[in-house]
């Protein structure tokens, strides 16, 4: 059982993003740009506080180090609100002032503001970083920026603190024993939200509770356990770089939630689109909840989704990491895996034995192709006409990794499957249309390349002579509307090769190409 109890298991191989990886690093000091970006993001959420934070903005426009305690008449500090499962906030007795305060203090060699707040909590209370995790509501963003007069130490003049306040959940159900810093701390108390001593922090916490800030740790990361149904699992080799989680290991694809993500599934689909364009899975199903540890030691709850895919990793335009490969469970002992990944895959393999029939044929590696061969991505496209000769197009989601807010054929990439079967599958999954393979004919082929470095593509355009069903939006994260258009009066925003293919079909041409003259 993990620190999160029976719901969570061992650390898994999620791809932890930079926002979840604050760490102390003397070689990467806190930058003015980081402080400004954090402050501006906060003001975007609380624009009415811009006047009250004029002193902070003036500090950031100056030449002195904004986080150096010697910078006067004010400098940046960091503190934390640690919330337990009973929605109480940890306060400590501050010896110098006699006040109950949140743990916090000056920046001292920290790479991020969040890391400074975490370090101060641990130094002053004896909590370990692994006893804490981020909240889904705030993630790594400050809940409050408070301006107050400092209690000057010996030799310091009167000055102000611009205090960035972050929120952590306490992970263990039972409170760990606190080991208070004797030099500065006189005691500790857990206070309800309504009793929090800081007026501004109290107001922000009470407002955040209305949005679900309840002290119950829950996943803030999502990862994809992708398998082909025949016992193979898709693993991602991470970069061998300092400062990232599990460098140089094989891990699952995925990443951390942002404030814009409406769900963890949306997080994962965004991460897949950003990291692996060309790898599209129809369905993501929650499989397990795991826990990893970030670079600085924070607990990171993760939702693991399972998905089926049987494509060729070589066709994926990998944007992060070194490579993608299929592996079977018996190969895992030979790999440098991220923590807990081997156990997770073996458990899934035991619960999901390979489907009947022979496994998928071995993948054709690039170096197994004839010399000079360029592997292509194959896409299928549906040319569907209604009784009035109008053509079905879909408006892609504005946040789509490809052609956002542009009209396009119903389309998809061939996995390890025959092209017409792919078309039939995509039509049902994307729009609820039922098409019989015998009622499909190839009417055009577009051979295209987007840029000199992009993998070439072959677009197969198939006409369905008959079908059943009414087009409906089945994958709203990809397509927001289906509509029939007069081919002579198409909308302005159409994918260029889609328009080219429609013109080719109408002219009776079977082939066209695009982009090759720009290589």
Which of 16-30, 234-248, 281-295, 355-369 is predicted with the least confidence, judged by mean pLDDT? 16-30
**Distance separating alpha carbons of residues 456 and 384, to the nearest angstrom:** 25
Identical fold, 31-209 and 223-357: yes
Angle between helix 32-45 and 54-61 (nearest 10): 150
Contact call for residues 394 and 481 (beta carbons, < 8 A): yes
Contact call for residues 124 and 221 (beta carbons, < 8 A): no
* CATH T-level topology, domain 223-357: Nucleoside Triphosphate Pyrophosphohydrolase (3.90.79)
CATH 3.90.79.10 fits 377-518, yes or no: yes
Per residue in 308-335, pLDDT tens? 998 889 888 888 888 999 999 999 999 9
Percent of the chain with pLDDT over 70: 90
Cα–Cα nearest to 346, from 327, 325, 324, 321 = 327
Buried/exposed 112-137: b ≥16 CB within 10 Å, e otherwise: bbbbbbbbbbbebbbbebbbbbbbbb
Q: What is the pLDDT of residue 516?
A: 86
Cα–Cα nearest to 435, from 446, 448, 420 = 420
- Over residues 403-425, mean pLDDT: 91
Domains in the chain: boundaries: 31-209, 223-357, 377-518
Contact call for residues 12 and 340 (beta carbons, < 8 A): yes
pLDDT over 60 at 80, yes or no? yes
Strands 391-396 and 407-408, sheet pairing: antiparallel
Give CA torsion, residues 280, 281, 282, 284, to 10 deg. Answer: -140
Token pair in block for residue 51: 């006047």
- Over residues 490-505, mean pLDDT: 95
Token pair in block for residue 19: 């926002």
pLDDT over 50 at 181, yes or no? yes
In CATH terms, the superfamily for domain 31-209 is Nucleoside Triphosphate Pyrophosphohydrolase (3.90.79.10)
Per residue in 88-104, pLDDT tens? 999 999 888 888 999 99
């Amino acid at each position: 059982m993990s620190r999160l109890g029976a719901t969570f298991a061992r650390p898994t191989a999620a791809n932890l993003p930079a926002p979840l990886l604050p760490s102390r690093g003397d070689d990467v000091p806190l930058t003015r740009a980081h402080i400004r970006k954090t402050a501006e993001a906060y003001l975007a959420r609380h624009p009415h506080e811009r006047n009250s934070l004029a002193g902070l903005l003036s500090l950031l426009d100056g030449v002195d180090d904004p986080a150096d305690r010697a910078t006067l008449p004010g400098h940046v500090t960091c503190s934390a609100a640690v919330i337990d499962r009973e929605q109480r906030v940890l306060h400590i007795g501050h010896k110098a002032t006699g006040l109950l305060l949140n743990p916090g203090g000056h920046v001292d060699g920290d790479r991020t503001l969040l890391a400074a707040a975490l370090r101060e909590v641990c130094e002053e209370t004896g909590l370990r970083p692994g006893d804490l995790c981020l909240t889904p509501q705030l993630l790594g963003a400050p809940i409050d920026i408070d301006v107050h007069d400092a209690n000057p130490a010996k030799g310091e003049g009167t000055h102000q603190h611009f205090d960035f306040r972050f929120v952590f959940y306490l992970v263990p159900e039972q409170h760990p024993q606190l080991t208070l810093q004797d030099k500065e701390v006189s005691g500790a108390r857990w206070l309800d939200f309504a009793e929090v001593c800081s007026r501004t922090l109290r107001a922000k916490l009470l407002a955040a509770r209305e949005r679900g800030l309840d002290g119950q740790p829950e996943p803030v990361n999502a990862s994809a356990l992708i398998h082909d149904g025949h016992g193979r699992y898709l693993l991602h080799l991470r970069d061998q770089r300092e400062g990232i989680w599990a460098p140089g290991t094989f891990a699952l694809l995925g990443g951390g939630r942002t404030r814009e993500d409406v769900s963890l599934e949306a997080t994962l689909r965004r991460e897949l689109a950003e990291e692996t364009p060309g790898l599209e899975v129809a369905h993501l199903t929650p499989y397990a909840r795991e826990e990893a540890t970030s670079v600085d030691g924070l607990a990171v709850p993760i939702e693991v989704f399972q998905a089926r895919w049987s494509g060729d990793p070589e066709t994926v335009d990998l944007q992060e990491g070194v490579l993608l490969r299929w592996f079977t469970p018996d190969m895992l002992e030979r790999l440098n895996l991220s923590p807990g990944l081997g156990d997770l895959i073996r458990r899934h393999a035991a619960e999901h034995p390979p489907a009947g029939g022979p496994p998928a044929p071995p993948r054709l590696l690039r170096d197994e192709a004839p010399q000079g061969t360029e592997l292509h991505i194959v896409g299928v496209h549906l040319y569907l006409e209604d009784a009035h000769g109008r053509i079905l197009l879909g408006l892609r989601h504005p946040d789509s990794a490809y052609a956002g807010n542009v009209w396009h054929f119903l389309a998809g990439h061939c996995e390890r499957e025959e092209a017409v079967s792919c078309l039939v599958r995509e039509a049902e999954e994307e729009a609820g249309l039922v098409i019989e393979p015998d009622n499909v004919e190839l009417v055009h082929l577009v051979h295209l390349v987007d840029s000199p470095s992009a993998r070439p593509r072959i677009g197969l355009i198939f006409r369905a002579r008959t079908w059943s069903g009414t087009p409906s939006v089945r994958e709203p994260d990809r397509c927001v509307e289906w509509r029939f258009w007069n081919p002579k009066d198409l909308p302005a925003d159409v994918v260029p090769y889609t328009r080219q293919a429609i013109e080719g079909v109408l002219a009776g041409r079977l082939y066209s190409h695009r982009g090759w003259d720009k290589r």
